[in-house]
A and B are shown apart, each in its own frame.
Chain A
Amino acid sequence: MVVDASEVTRLLRAWTDGHAAAGDALMDAVYGELRKMARGYLRRERDGHSLPPTALVHEAYLKLVDQQHVRWQNRAHFFAIAARVMRRILVDHARGHASAKRGGGGTTFTLLDSDARLDPPGVDILALDVALEKLAGIDPRQSRLVELRFFGGLTVDEAAAVLDIAPITVKRDWALARTWLYREIRGPRR
């Protein structure tokens, strides 16, 4: 897929203005590009000390968005959508890993060859994904917040800016969402 900056910029603006369909097209573009960039990084840029996927997100922003023609809000939206993309990449990665274990011929993209690297300790990404869907049914904003914080690596203040709520609310939501998800995945305490 050829990604054209002016097209992505157009989609981003349309999506910010409330055209939901543009969001899907935008996500496809960002997803394809992030995936490609992740691979490219592995081939070329091996600084060796840190390669946070959020770095890819920042770079993708520059690459995909024509900075002259976006508003401040567009930028926040881009980072928000990128968090969703990271979620998808990680979930796909986890699925690929799971299907490989079952002996299935997975063609799913994996970000890194060494599987352990992307699985945070103690978190089953697939279970988390399912639980997040369920949480979205109860409290969409909290589900979104977890996406931004956990998959996008955004700080409290950054998430607050994206969601347009006060950091204090972010902290409260984060505490409750985390607890809810933990209980959902691990089961209630006995």
Chain B
Amino acid sequence: MKSPADWERVRELFHHALALPAEDRAGFLHREADLDEATRREIESLLAAHGDADRFLSDSPAARSVSDEDLLAGIGSLQPGTRIGAFEILGLLGAGGMGEVHRARDTRLDREVAIKVLARDLADDPGGRDRFEREARAISRLTHPHICTLYDVGSAEIDGRSAPFLVMELLDGETLADRLRRGSLPLGQAIETAIEILDALGAAHALGIIHRDLKPANIMLTKSGVKLLDFGLARLTPARVAGQNTGGSAADVLTAPGIVFGTMPYMAPEQLRGADADVRTDLFAFGAVFYEMLTGRRAFSAGSQPALIAAILEQDPEPVTAEQPRATPGLNGLVRACLAKDPGARWQHAGDVVLALRALAEGRPPSSPQPASDSSPSLLRASRARRPWPLHAVWATVAIVAALSAWMLPRGSSQPVAPANPQPVIVFMDSPLEGRVYDPRTLAAGGTNADDLTDALRYLPIVTHKENTSPMWHREEEVRQQNPDLIISHLSCLYDQRVANEPAVRTEFFNMAQNRLTAFFGYVASVNPRTKFLVYSRGRFGTQEETWTRDVVARFPQMNGRLFTMTVPGGDRATFRDPATMQQMHARVVEILGLR
């Protein structure tokens, strides 16, 4: 039997070799003098397989979606011929997030209708029946050429539950979702469709009815134009927790029971945060749908639920002009204004968007969105282009791979030293929620700690990076590449406001956060031997500071003499605006960097 390969060496050298041009790899492995034959062969064999393995496992079954047809195959709780009240079931038409839709005959009026049976048991929910009927009555007041008419509501015993059902206009056509599977719409048709959707939304909004769940699957394309389905239905089912609860956040959505996951790509940031929906929530969803009509691509998409939430909260989609060559910058601006993260910076009325769209279609300059009158200028800033969330730093160059490998293999001498900066570079780290993630509170307060710190240090001959990052986001590599002379961070910069309200969780989180901060610093310190660290904290963490510093240096001896601390009064970001604290920070930085 041949001797087994040394796996540690395989790991280490595989990546090293991979970073080299293919023709240099064999030579590289042969130059590794202490490499035994079995290990070398193993690495060569893996390198040979690497090219073919490129797409292998890249398609996770967990990330794949399941289509209507698969889910509908052989399922349907009502068989043709079943009677529900005056309605005779003729066949299953399809299924939406909230239940099944059947074609049925109204035996009294002898006309065909669509019956939607909601996936919900009214018997489980005292008072639910009244509420259901009250809401349904409101929706039935909606009569509009582009809204599917609701004729009747009721409930029936189906599969042992008391299932509410809605009787609606039977439509002939395909959903926009089906249409979009074949790609984007021609520009003219997209605009025409958009105007019809907006007309319908405007009419509903005038009656105080919010759709709450506008998406391509709820938009039917018929011979007589667009028909919006399921108006306000989100309210009638327990499935849409996000639009209903009051104090929730994205975290709640993630784990909320019964959430309709397929809908999330069209949900507005405020819905993800748990705020109630209003007119502007529908306009955001409209923007996402319009974007998709124009480009054939989702405005927001991601491989996982948390990543999707992050995308909706933080990212701006690519301009529509990138995908639809006939789209003008004006059209792009119009869509962007629909998709503004802050409702106050969005279009406020469906009618305004229609006017702007018509103006664009006729080649006139469109008006810009009218923000809500109570919006402050700082809120308006939010609608400007924001940096997309860098999920991970891109670090493709061979030099960096080599530098990193050198750090990971404890071989000392090969470690490169980053060149000195012409002017000292300072990186500020800030909390994830209040810094990087768009948050009205931060803007209302006038900015983040990093903004204030930049202010405090503005007369120094330094370069500052307001990274508004936090170790929590695993952005070591990015920060490292900025080659900082000094990193300034709050001791509790990992604070997560969502958990900060619960004392038990808070302590736990804080401990974990500090460990993470230590590891983050340790990494940067190992790779950038010049970097120093200044950690400031509130007065009440003052006693912890010393212990923490000792622990950090014990774990990462290379930080000895490079870690500085500072206690600031209060610790709130506002304190950096008071002249005394600003001066204190100024003096500390001058001292640490030896500027003068």
Identify the A interface with B (CB < 8 A). Answer: 42-55, 58-59, 61-63, 67, 71-73, 86, 90, 112-114, 117-123, 128, 138-139, 146, 149-158, 160-161, 166-168, 171-172, 175-176, 178-183, 186, 188-189
Contact = CB atoms under 8 A, between A and B. Distances in A.
Given A51-B71, A182-B56, A176 B11 contact: yes
B261 A48 contact: no
A52 B302 CA distance: 12
Q: Which of A44, A153, A175 has the most CB of B within 10 A?
A: A44
A155 B304 contact: yes
B96 A166 contact: no
Contacts of A146: 57
Interface of B: 7, 10-11, 14-15, 18, 45-46, 48-50, 52-53, 55-57, 59-68, 70-75, 77, 94-97, 99-100, 119, 177, 217, 239, 254-263, 303-307, 391-392, 395, 404, 473-474, 476-477, 499, 505, 508-509, 512, 523
B11 A114 contact: no
A52 B49 contact: no
A70 to B, nearest CB: 9
A136 B50 CA distance: 20
Given A114-B73, A155-B307, A179-B49, A45 B119 contact: yes
30 contacts: A44-B119, A45-B258, A46-B68, A47-B260, A47-B261, A47-B262, A48-B67, A48-B71, A48-B217, A50-B66, A53-B61, A59-B255, A62-B257, A117-B70, A119-B61, A122-B56, A128-B57, A139-B11, A150-B61, A155-B304, A155-B391, A157-B392, A157-B473, A158-B304, A167-B477, A168-B404, A168-B477, A181-B56, A182-B56, A188-B49
Contact of A52 (B53, B65, B96, B509): B65
Contacts of A71: 505, 508
Given A71-B505, A156-B392, A166-B476, A59 B258 contact: yes
A149 B62 CA distance: 9
Nearest to B10: A176
Q: Which of A45, A128, A139, A189 has the most CB of B within 10 A?
A: A45
Nearest to B61: A120
Contacts of B303: 153, 155
B71 A153 contact: no
A175 to B, nearest CB: 7
A65 to B, nearest CB: 9
Contacts of B257: 59, 62-63
A49 B60 contact: no
Nearest to B118: A44
A117 B66 contact: yes
Nearest to B255: A62
